[in-house]
Amino acid sequence: MPYTVDFQNVSTAGLESSPVAEALAGLRANEARYFKNKYNHVFATVPAEESPEIVDYVNRVLKERDLVVESRPLEVTSFEVEGTRWTYVFYESGLSINVLYGLDEGSKRAVGFKLSQGMEIPAELAGTFKFARQKSKLAGEIRGSFFVIKGEYSI
């Protein structure tokens, strides 16, 4: 059953097992607010076990950099807005990974990493990526990084 993320009343629904559940919920709500304000898109997630193909897709893209996320995926979503496929996985550790994949040849394609406030940089990302900090009213401090996708991928 999809969970429509409410950025007015932040909820930890689906994220309760995370040691940084409150911060991860704020991060998820921050993404929901972005898509509502920029694209008028309602951000909804499902439990990862209900859509394993989304986790598999993200894992295939991460293999481009020989990355394997050790944390358990909790929630996922994938949708298309204005010619871009957006795919998100929210992990128990507090990590959020999104794949931005422009559907037109030559359009933007990248993987973004966001770390919830209070979590350490995961070992699989440490030393490989530098994380910039941003403030969020919903999520506190978010640390983020990314890499450009070189290959071709479909869900």
Per-residue pLDDT reduced to its tens digit, 10-53? 999 999 999 999 999 999 999 999 999 999 999 999 999 999 99
- pLDDT value of position 155: 81
* pLDDT > 90? residue 105: no
**Strand order in 140-148's β-sheet?**
3-4, 44-47, 73-81, 84-91, 95-102, 109-115, 140-148, 132-136
Total number of domains in the chain: 1
Query: What pLDDT digit, counting tens, does each position of 93-103 carry?
Result: 999 999 999 99
Decide if 153 is inside a domain: no
Decide if 154 is inside a domain: no
Residue 124's domain spans which residues? 3-148
Decide if 99 is inside a domain: yes
* pLDDT > 90? residue 1: no
Decide if 34 is inside a domain: yes
Distance (Å, rounded) from C-alpha 49 to C-alpha 52?
6
- pLDDT value of position 154: 86
